[in-house]
Structure formats: C-alpha cells, structure tokens
Amino acid sequence: MKYLDEYRDPVAARKLADTIARTVTRPWTIMEICGGQTHTIVKYGIDEILPSQIELVHGPGCPVCVTPLEMIDRAHAIASRRDVIFCSFGDMLRVPGSRGDLLQLKSEGADVRVVYSPLDAVKVAADNPGRKAVFFAIGFETTAPPNAMAVWMARKRGLKNFSVLVSHVTVPNAITAILDAPGNRVQGFLGPGHVCTVVGYDEYEPIASQYHVPIVITGFEPLDMLEGVLWTVRQLESGRAEVENQYGRAVQRNGNAQSRQLIDEVFEVCDRKWRGVGTIPQSGYRLRDAYRDYDAEKIFAVEDICTQESTVCISGEILRGLKKPHHCPAFGKQCTPQTPLGATMVSAEGACAAYFHYGRHLVSLDVSTDTPSLAAGDRR
Amino acid sequence: MSDPSVAGIDWSSCPTPKSNYDRILLGHGSGGRLTNELIERVFVPAFDNPILAALEDQATLNLAATNGGAAGGLPRLAFTTDAFVVQPLFFPGGDIGRLAVHGTVNDLAVGGALPQFLSAAFILEEGLPIDDLKRIAASMRAACDEAGVQLVTGDTKVVDRGKGDQVFITTAGIGIVPPGRNLSIRSVRPGDKILVSGTLGDHGITIMSVREGIEFETALESDTAPLTSLVQAMLAACPAIRWMRDPTRGGLASALNEMASAAGVGVELVESTIPVRNEVHAACEMLGLDALYVANEGKLVAVVPADDSEKLLGTMRAHPLGQNAAIIGTVVDEHPRMVLLRSLVGGERVVTMLAGEQLPRIC
C-alpha cells in the first residue's frame, strides 16, 4: 500500500538493523512511549532483529491502560442509568472495573455504544433528545482535539443532553515521573509521534537537557521504529541528549496550531491519577469552567466508588518500564485478554495484550532481566 | 523458537482459559475462542455423538451404517446448517439471501461434497417491506441456480417489531460425497503446503464500510460466491488434497488455528505471500483490525502435499474464483498447535485464536 509498504520494506529494515548493530558498543535500555509503538514492535518482531545489547521497554502510552479503575467504575455507574446512552471507543468496553466491564453491562441491557469518533456521540445526543448521551473522553493529547471539538460543537448546537466523562492524560510529566522514580533504568526514549503531531515537541526539550536523556520523536511503522532506535543509540553512544524528530513527515516542532488552540479553548491542565502509577502533577486535562455544563462527573454525581486492584497484577511496574509482561506470574494463565486482571491486558495497545496476542506467552522468553541492573544514575 | 512449555504453560494440555461471563456477549458469535467455548461447554455435552464430535463444518453421514449395513450402494451424505444475521441486508456485492445460500453450499463444497438440496427458515420482523423479502428471495433463487442446488423446503415465522433485526435466515443443506473422497482435518501432515484461493477480508470489510456509524467510501465488494466449481476443479486436478475450509467468521487465523489444534501440527505462514487488497489493508490499518481475522464468504484455504502444490496453484489461478490464489505457508512438525507468521521485516509472531470480538483501537 502506498505510503505504508515503503515503511515496512524488509531490505531497508535489515539495513537499519545492521547499522544499529554496528553503532552499538554496550547495553542500552530504551523506552517506547506509545502503545501503538509497542504494538508495532511485537507485531513485526522488531526486538528480535535488534542486537542483543538493545533492550526495549514498554512505556505508559496506552490510554486505555492508564485510565484509573475509579474512572472505569464511574463510567459503569453512569452507563447503568436508564436515561443514559453511553458512547465509547471500542477497546474501553472490555476494561474490567470493580463491578465488571461495559460489555457485560451492555449484555444486561444498558445502552452502551461503540463510536469511532466523539462527533458520532454528539450525533447520538442530537438524535435522542429525550435521553442523555455521554462520551467517555479518554486518551492522550492525540484524542484531545476531537474530544474538545465534540464539546465545542455540542455547545454551539445548544445540545443540553450531551456530556463527556473526561480522563485525559498528557505525556511530558509522565516521562519525568519515570525518570524520577527510584530504580529507573530507562536511558533514552522513543517519543510519542502522534501526540507530537498535535502539540509539537518543544515541551520535551527541557526534559532532554535537564535529565540528559535523548528523546527521539518516532513514528509507528517498522522502519520508523528502527530509525528511532538508531538515532537514540547514536545519541547515547556519543553522549548527546537532544530532542530529535524522526517522524518529520507528520510532526512539526510546534505541532498543529489549530488543534492546540482548540484544546486550550476547552481544556485546562490538571493533576491526574494514572492507573498503576499514581497521581502525576499537571499530567492531564479537565474541562474549563466555561464548559462545566458538559462534564459528566458533575452532571451524574456518582458516590461510593471504592476500588480494589488485583494483588497479583504488575501492570504498574510494566507501565513504568520496570518489568515486562512475561515477568508476571499470572501472565497467560489467570490473566488473558478474556479474563484480564489489569488494564495492560485489555487494550490492543497494552503491553500485556500485545505480548499475548502475538503469542509471547507460548514461546520461550528471556526472564533473566527480572532485576533491573542499570540505574539511570549510571550514565549521568 | 524452543519448547513452548518453557514459558510455564503445558501446551499439550493447554487449559483454555474459561470465560467468566454468565450471559451471552457479542463476542460469543465472533467465531473465535468464545464461540468455541460455547460449543464445548453447552452444545457438545448436550448432543454428544461421534458425528458431531468431529466438529467439522459439515457432518458426514454414512447411510449404510445407520441402516444396519443393508443399504449397499448408498452414497455418503454431507449435511450442514448455518444462520445468517447481517446488517445492512443489502450490501455491495450481495445481500443476506445470497449469503445464506453460499454459506451453506460452501460448507458442503469444501468437504468435497456436491451440494444438492437446501432448506431455508426465515424469521421476519413485523414491518419488513414485502418488496425487500421478494428481492431477497429472488437473489436466493439466482444464487441456487448458480450453485446448482435446489431450495426444496422452508419455514417462516414473524416476530414483534423490535424483537428481530428485519430478517434472519437459517439454511441447511445436503450434498453427496463421491465414493473414495475423504477430506479430513486430521489427515494434514508436516511438509504439506497451505494455499488460499484469493484476497482475504473483502467481505468483512465491505460490510463494515456500509454499517451505520462507520461508513467509509470504498470500491470494495463482498466476495460472496459459491465455491463448488472451484473445489471440484481442484479435486479433479489434485485428488490428494488433504483438507479445505472456507474461512468465514473468525477469518483465516481461526481456520488455521483449528486445523493446527485438531491435527496436532504447527503452521508457518509468510506474511508477504498472503494476498490482501489495498483497500482492505487500508481499512484494517484505519480501524485497528487484522485482515487475518476478518470474514470471507467466497474464499477457501486448502492443504495439499508439497509435491502437488504448484500444480494445484495453477489450477486455482485458472479458475475465475481463484485468480489471486497463493501458497502462503507450510505445515510443520515444530511448535504443534501453534500458527507462526514470519513478518514482513523478518520478525516472527504467533497468530492466535481471536479471544472475543475484534474491537477497534482508540488511536
């Protein structure tokens, strides 16, 4: 397929892998931020063609995975109401909350609908004036513009029966939280290509210099990923720590001005709780006061949310890059995409689900990396 | 790739994770693992008998055996049934009626049988325009003529408005299995080659492109077609074909996983050889789906001894329904019950059975 096959070319991939192998002189641990990047790595076996010195660890960039359990339960409670049509992206429906998932709720009679765009949820509201349409507005900076647009459109059209349950997260402070965490072993980042398409990468520059860590904004195709790794390794090997833009065909330094403006119009920055990680200051969006009439949390005051995470699940450590899915005793046993114990098993972009879907529970895996051996301080 | 049990799973007695759902979910109809669980937990125990236990897409009935052996010369019959629920009823390349004929005809044909007679039961929702029903019936008649079968019996029920989705059709079919013909999923051997008759995912993506809430513009058409003449041409040219299946719901991945499990063999696929149309490829990228799991309604997958594979490929490509046929992989001794795929960039991944529904990804 044009503009896609070119980025999956086996000969070019081999060449890049060879160049990486020639460039690397010692072990490096690199984190890819995005769930989509994790997906590409396991789908194409990218880690298998990299030299053994390069370890890729999977970051917190799956929006479904990091949405806190309390928020899933809140969604469940709102979707249970007879007057509500609850609209969501497909992969949120299978995330288990304390009281079950939204798919089960749907089978019990709740009106839960998969939509492909938040604007479809606005249409649902317009088509059903007697009921309340609620959209589950989750995601990173990538989904913020369409979610903001939905709210903006609803207000413009005077729709009183549309609201959003917002659980938006943003990347930069999650990166610093990972770097600040005790035992951190990440030495370089493949930055979030699509997030930066929207908001640009100027915010990452102070992180790179302050923490002396290379950040290469990277795309999502196999050749993008390999090139991102190569650029990161070149920086690490030469002691540089800069922001570089591998995904130049989509990303500009300042991002997309209109999208930024729209986000800024509707949302404001706030502290957010990340599932498995905890609260990270200034790491999310909430609706501005001017749009509070569209805030489902305000409209449907849901009390008594008491959550209980699985005691076996290690998704928190996985999201911080401390462990890999196959280090979990429950992986592929009690915990499968059908019976997920934690959110990293639920979304296609979650590291555990990606490992499971592409059969990594069936083949022998190196579990010798259980104990993080390289502290970040080693190279500062 | 070493011994799978190293990862701590005894794959030879793989404990399929049991679902904890106590109600039917849409995923139970996906053709993947949830569907299989339903069959194993509910239907096989309820109707336990050796013919059903074969779990092929069609039952093969030996009339001589059921007649005390006194019916010498009676042919073996193939018997199958299939239910059809599709929205919209009319879609590019076909409609629910055409699908209902082809689905049952193809389940018989890929077992090597010559489909003869069909039945059809219609569940109609109050308020359905009679003209729509006429259009569906005419389309079924044309599909029967094309496939060389007769629809000889039927039934109609009507349900209250809101209790159905316009039309549900269930067809059943009987075919004759020529003497000496024994296609079986368990006859597959390491070294055999795996062929598909054409591009994958056309039907599923076409339906998705016209489904309410997703509509996107595409020139795609459903591939729904009767496979009888292609199958007969293939068997005439290559009687050694081991096994065939039409990879409908659940797609190629589910068909090959079922084969690998039933025959206790491994499968190795080469991604670059698997035919997928650009439009399907693009839609899958956009929606976060995988063409290997998307439904086909006029395609088959065949397993044949390696020596016959090139000849069979030539025969398939010479047939109008097999122009894009390809050899896509090999049956192997290693990693029994596992389907592996060599990716475009040279990595490897396991193609597992679909767990529930394929859910579109967020971004």
Contact A360 B21 (CB under 8 A): no
Which residues does chain B have within 8 Å of residue A137's beta carbon, measured at their own beta carbons? none
Q: Do A45 and B349 touch (CB under 8 A)?
A: yes
Which residues of chain B have a CB within 8 Å of the CB of A45? 343, 345-349
Q: How confident is the model at residue B360 (pLDDT cuts 50, 70, 90)?
A: low
| Cα gap A207→A172, rounded to integer Å | 8
For residue A108, with 0-12 CB atoms within 10 Å meaning exposed, 13-18 middle and 19 or more buried, which class applies? exposed
Q: What is the ipTM of this complex?
A: 0.72
Among all residues of chain A, which has the CA nearest to that of B280? A1
Facing residue for B348 by CB, picked from A48, A92, A139: A48
Q: What is the pLDDT of residues B267-311, one digit of tens each?
A: 999 999 999 999 999 889 888 788 999 999 999 999 999 999 999
Q: Does A327 touch chain B (CB under 8 A)?
A: no
Gap between the Cα atoms of A28 and A52, Å rounded? 10
Cβ contact (<8 Å) for B362 and A42? Answer: no
Which chain B residues have a beta carbon less than 8 Å from that of A362?
4, 7, 9, 11, 335, 338, 350, 352
Q: Tokens 């398409």 appear where?
A: A197
CA angle B25, B26, B30 (to 5 degrees): 120
Give the tens place of pLDDT for each residue, A255-266. Answer: 999 999 999 999
Please state the rounded mean pLDDT for residues B250-278: 95
Quickly state the pLDDT bin for A306 (edges 50, 70, 90). low
A365 → closest Cβ in B7, B33, B355: B7
Locus of tokens 């004036």: A129
Q: Contact B296/B223 with Cβ under 8 angstroms?
A: yes
Give the residue from A357, A48, A37 showing the smallest Cα distance to B339.
A357
CB pairs under 8 A between A and B: 163
Give contacts of A13 with chain B, Cβ < 8 Å.
344-346
Contacts of A120 in chain B (CB under 8 A): 213
Q: Which residues of A touch B288 (CB under 8 A)?
A: 348
In whole angstroms, what is the distance from residue A217 CA to residue A194 CA?
Answer: 9
Q: How near does any CA of chain A get to the CA of B93, in Å?
A: 23
- Calculate the average pLDDT of chain A: 89
User: Is the pLDDT reported for residue A226 higher than 60?
Assistant: yes
Average pLDDT over residues B8-35: 59
- State the nearest Cα–Cα gap between B212 and chain A, in angstroms: 10
Q: Which of B3, B25, B34 sits opposite A107 (nearest CB)?
A: B25
Chain B touched by A369 (CB under 8 Å): no
Position A316: which residue type? G
pTM attached to this predicted model:
0.81
Query: Taking 70 as the threshold, does the pLDDT of residue B65 lie above it?
Result: no
Picking from B26, B352, B362, the nearest residue to A357 by CB comes out as B352
Give the HSE-up count for residue A354: Cα atoms under 13 Å, Cβ half-sphere: 25
- For chain B, give the mean pLDDT: 88
Nearest to B350 by CA among B335, B339, B334, B342: B339
User: What proportion of chain B, given as a percentage, has pLDDT over 70?
Assistant: 88
Residue B270's nearest CA partner among B192, B346, B335 is B346
Quick one: pLDDT band at residue B14, thresholds 50, 70, 90? very low
CB distance A349 to A160 below 8 Å:
no
Given this model, what pLDDT does residue B57 score?
86
Q: Does A338 touch chain B (CB under 8 A)?
A: yes
pLDDT in tens, B155-164: 999 999 999 9
Name the minimum distance, in Å, from the CA of A380 to any CA of chain B. Answer: 34
Which pLDDT belongs to residue B196? 98
Residue B170 is inside which H or E element, if any?
strand B167-177
Report whether B304 contacts B259 (CB < 8 A): no
**Cβ–Cβ below 8 Å for A49 and B345:** yes
Judged by CB atoms closer than 8 Å, whether chains meet at B9 and A347 is answered as: no
Residues of B in contact with A89 (CB under 8 A): 360-362
Q: List Cα–Cα distances, A316 to A186, B38, B145, B258, in angstroms.
A: 15, 33, 60, 35
Residues from chain B contacting residue A337 (CB–CB below 8 Å):
355-356
Q: How far apart are alpha carbons B326 and B196 in whole angstroms?
A: 6
- By C-alpha distance, the chain B residue nearest A7 is B345
CA distance A377 to chain B (A): 33
Name the minimum distance, in Å, from the CA of A4 to any CA of chain B: 9
Are A10 and B344 within 8 A, CB to CB?
A: yes
| DSSP per position, B185-211 | GGG--TT-EEEESS-SSHHHHHHHHHS
- The confidence score (pLDDT) of residue A371 equals 30
**What is the model's pLDDT at position B7?**
28
- Average of pLDDT values for A294-320? 82
Residue A148 has phi, psi (to 5 degrees) of -65, -40
**Any B CB within 8 A of A222 CB:** yes
Q: Does A54 touch chain B (CB under 8 A)?
A: no
Q: How far is A170 from chain B (nearest CA, A)?
A: 15
Within 127-186 of A, beta carbons closer than 8 Å to B belong to: 138-140, 142-143
B282–A358 C-beta distance less than 8 A: no
What pLDDT was estimated at residue B66?
59
Mutate to test the interface with B, among A362, A365, A367 (most CBs of B within 10 A): A362
Is A375 or A143 the better-scoring residue by pLDDT?
A: A143
A113 CB-side CA count, 13 A: 22
Which pLDDT score, from 0 to 100, does residue B361 have? Answer: 59
pLDDT computed for residue A312 by the predictor: 85
pLDDT tier at A368 (50, 70, 90 boundaries)?
Answer: very low
